[in-house]
Structure 1
Amino acid sequence: MSDHHRDVWTLHRRSDGGALADLVVTGGDFPWLNGRVDPKDGFAEVRQLFAEELRLLDDIDENAESWERAYDAVRNAVTLRCPEGQEVPEFLLHIDRNEAWWRWSDEPFDEEDA
Structure 2
Amino acid sequence: MTDLHAEWRLLSGSTLIGTITVDEPGMPWQHGRFFPEPAFSQFKPWFDETNALVEAEDFERFDAVYDLIEEALTLESPSGPVAAFLLHIDRERAWFRWDEGPATS
Scaled by the length of structure 2, what TM-score is found?
Answer: 0.89
Give the 5 Å matches for 1:4-43: 4-13=3-12, 16-43=13-40
1:97 aligns with 2:94: no
Q: Secondary structure at the match of 1:12?
A: strand
Greater percentage in helix: 2
| 1:38-78 alpha-carbon deviations (Å, 9 max, x no partner) | 11120111111100011101123xx3210100111111221
- The structure 1 segments of at least 4 consecutive aligned residues displaced by more than 3 Å after TM superposition are none
Give the 5 Å matches for 1:10-89: 10-13=9-12, 16-60=13-57, 63-84=58-79, 86-89=80-83
Do the aligned residues in 2 keep the contact of 1:12 with 1:80 (CA within 8 Å)?
Answer: yes
Q: How many residues align?
A: 103
Unaligned runs of 5+ in 1: 110-114
Whole-angstrom CA distance in 2 between matches of 1:64 and 1:7: 30
* Identity rate, percent: 32
Scaled by the length of structure 1, what TM-score is found?
Answer: 0.83
